[in-house]
């Protein structure tokens, strides 16, 4: 079934002429890159000449039409500064966001100084399309340089900033941003908080864009249009969401959902030693991984001790993705490994449970593999993803900042021993597989559509050309309010006049009667 999902992409016939495509994915995070890789692979196999700027090149010699500019060194700043800050959870949120924004600029500046990127900046090559990760837009100026259409793509569901960019209506209560851990029913205080944080976030993001703009002009030249103008000209937005995992939201035609396990690979056999260990886990095993950004070796010591004590009391084998050589006080039933083929581990028949940080890729993988979860979210969209899974009934969650052994152990045992969680996740597996086209097929089709039609200006959302006060109906309400007030006032005057008139009549009559 998963094989079908994957190979479905490859079988479609070659359509249109080969194009030259520039793909730019600046974020040094494997979980971001892994969503783009299948697209580069597919487009190059379909005969397009694809050049990518990426921190994680695929390095597959069979992909002869794919040229990769390696920006791997960006991981230095990302791991040493950004991830350490996020995990220390000592800064207040505002300071953390400002730091994050400036550190992204530091990363992009280094990337633009890369000799191969400089060569591209000075080249007079021709490109037919630029696809950029919408998260770090400075290099979107390449679309202006090469005079070609631009597609923005993100490895998460689109946030309101991106939806505003492309003119897709947003609503902070009906469709709260993915970074807020809200689900279907929000309390009044959550709704207020969502409105206020969406507003503050949009301020932070315009500050971020002004820095992106300065950086872009430093490298491309001051005669370039602003980042807002360039990004406001994107032909399409590809978002990594689907209608099974994500909340239902109406989308304009220029927003295309490419989510729902697009990055899944066909199964591969597990490495021999690992396979033997998992085959021999007679009571079954639990897989514990915090993803590629949160390093288990960096989590606070108290938390780690609680985790180890909990695991030591479980009747199951625990496979822990742990990034150091040694885990002090490692219990007998715990196996550690620095790297694991996660998709294949999740497909092993002995797996009972996935303890996950709830990154979107891990969430997709666990749902496609039919494995229930205990969530332990850290940052970004993780809390929201975990909350969605808990609401959908595929598992339970814990807080890593206040982790307690009894609670953690109780939840692990409940999810493994109560069949309702696994039954629920199997219902979702059936739904994710029952779709007309995979997310990746949609991404490839719409990419070639934009190339064929030299953009998608005819799909431009009318919202982009409507002043904000008209969209918010402020002028309409103002006029209606005025009419209402005017009518009410006229009515009041009339009533007052009539009542005086009648009173006077009565008075006169009274006088006459006397």
Give the binding site for ligand NAG (CB under 6 A).
18, 44-45, 47, 64-65, 144, 149, 225, 229-230, 233, 455
For ligand NAG, give the closer residue by CB, 232 or 271.
Answer: 232
Q: Which is nearer to ligand NAG, 49 or 330 (CB)?
A: 49
Question: Shortest distance, CB of residue 70 to ligand NAG, whole angstroms?
Answer: 20
In the complex, the smallest distance separating the C-beta of residue 69 from ligand NAG, rounded to whole angstroms, is 19
Cβ closer to ligand NAG: 227 or 355?
227
Minimum distance, C-beta of residue 58 to ligand NAG, in the bound complex (Å): 12
Q: Which of 142, 421 has the CB closer to ligand NAG? A: 142
- By the 8 A CB rule, do 331 and 427 touch? no
CB of 21 to ligand NAG, least distance (A): 12
Helix/strand/coil (H, E, C) string of 20-64?
Answer: EEEEEECCCCHHHHHHHHHHHHHHHHCCCEEEEEECCCCCCCCCC
Nearer to ligand NAG (CB atom), residue 26 or residue 149: 149
Task: Look at residue 148 and give its three-state secondary structure.
Answer: coil
- In the numeric block, the tokens 């793909």 are attached to 23
Q: Over 118-172, what HEC string results?
A: HHHHHCCCCCCEEEEECCCHHHHHHHHHCCCCEEEECCCCCCHHHHHHHCCCCCC
Bridge partners of 397, per DSSP, are 375
Closest distance to ligand NAG from the beta carbon of 148 (Å): 7
Sign of CA dihedral 279, 281, 283, 289: negative
Q: What is the rounded distance in angstroms from the CA atom of residue 322 to the CA atom of residue 75?
A: 18
Least distance in angstroms from the C-beta of 438 to ligand NAG: 20
- Name the residue nearer to ligand NAG (CB basis): 40 or 322: 40
The two structure tokens encoding residue 326: 């040694």
Q: Which is nearer to ligand NAG, 51 or 369 (CB)?
A: 51
Task: Enumerate residues 6+ apart whose C-beta is below 8 A from 423.
Answer: none
CB of 247 to ligand NAG, least distance (A): 31
Lookup result for tokens 């500050």: 207
Secondary-structure breakdown of the chain: helix, strand, coil percentages, each rounded to the nearest 5 = 50, 10, 35
Instruction: Answer for the pair 364, 392: CB distance below 8 angstroms, yes or no.
Output: no
């Amino acid at each position: 079934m998963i094989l079908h999902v994957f190979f479905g992409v490859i079988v479609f016939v070659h359509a249109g002429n080969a194009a030259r495509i520039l793909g730019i994915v600046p974020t040094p995070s494997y979980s971001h890159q892994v969503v783009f890789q299948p697209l580069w692979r597919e487009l190059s196999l379909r005969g397009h000449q694809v050049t990518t700027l990426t921190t994680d090149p695929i390095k597959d010699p069979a992909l002869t039409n794919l040229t990769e500019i390696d920006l791997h060194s960006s991981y230095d700043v990302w791991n040493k500064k950004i991830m350490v800050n996020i995990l220390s959870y000592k800064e207040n949120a505002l300071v953390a966001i400002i730091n994050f924004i400036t550190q992204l600029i530091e990363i992009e500046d280094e990337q633009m100084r890369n000799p191969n990127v400089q060569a591209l900046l000075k080249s007079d090559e021709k490109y037919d399309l630029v696809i950029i990760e919408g998260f770090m837009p400075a290099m979107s100026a390449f679309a202006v340089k090469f005079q070609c259409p631009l597609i923005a793509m993100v490895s998460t569901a689109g946030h309101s900033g991106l939806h505003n960019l492309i003119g897709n209506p947003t609503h902070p209560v009906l469709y709260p941003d993915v970074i807020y851990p809200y689900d279907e029913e929000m309390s009044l205080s959550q709704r207020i908080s969502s409105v206020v944080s969406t507003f503050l976030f949009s301020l932070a993001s315009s500050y971020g864009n002004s820095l992106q703009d300065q950086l872009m002009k430093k490298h491309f030249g001051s005669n370039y249009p602003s980042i807002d103008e360039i990004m406001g000209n994107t032909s399409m937005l590809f978002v990594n969401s689907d209608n099974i995992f994500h909340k239902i939201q109406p989308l304009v035609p220029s927003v295309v959902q490419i989510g729902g396990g697009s990055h899944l690979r066909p199964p591969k056999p597990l490495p021999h030693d690992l396979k033997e260990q998992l085959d021999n886990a007679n009571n079954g095993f639990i897989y514990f991984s915090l993803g590629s950004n949160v390093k288990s070796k960096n989590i606070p010591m108290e938390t780690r001790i609680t985790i180890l004590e909990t695991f030591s009391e479980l009747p199951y084998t625990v496979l822990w993705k742990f990034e150091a050589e040694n885990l002090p006080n490692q219990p007998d039933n715990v196996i550690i490994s620095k790297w694991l083929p996660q998709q294949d581990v999740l497909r092993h028949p002995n797996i009972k449970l996935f303890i996950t940080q709830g990154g979107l890729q891990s969430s997709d993988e666990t749902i496609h593999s039919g494995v229930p979860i205990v969530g332990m979210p850290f940052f970004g969209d993780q809390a929201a993803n975990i909350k969605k899974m808990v609401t959908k009934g595929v598992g339970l969650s814990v807080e890593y900042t206040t982790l307690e052994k009894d609670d953690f152990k109780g939840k692990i045992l409940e999810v493994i021993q109560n069949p309702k969680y696994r039954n629920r996740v199997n219902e979702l597996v059936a739904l994710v597989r029952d779709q007309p086209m995979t997310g990746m097929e949609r991404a490839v089709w719409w990419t070639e559509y934009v190339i064929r039609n030299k953009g998608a200006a005819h799909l431009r959302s009318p919202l982009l050309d409507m002043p904000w006060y008209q969209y918010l109906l402020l002028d309409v309400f103002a006029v209606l309010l005025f009419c209402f007030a005017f009518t009410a006032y006229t009515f009041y005057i009339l009533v007052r006049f009539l009542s005086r008139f009648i009173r006077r009549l009565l008075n006169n009559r009274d006088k006459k009667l006397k």
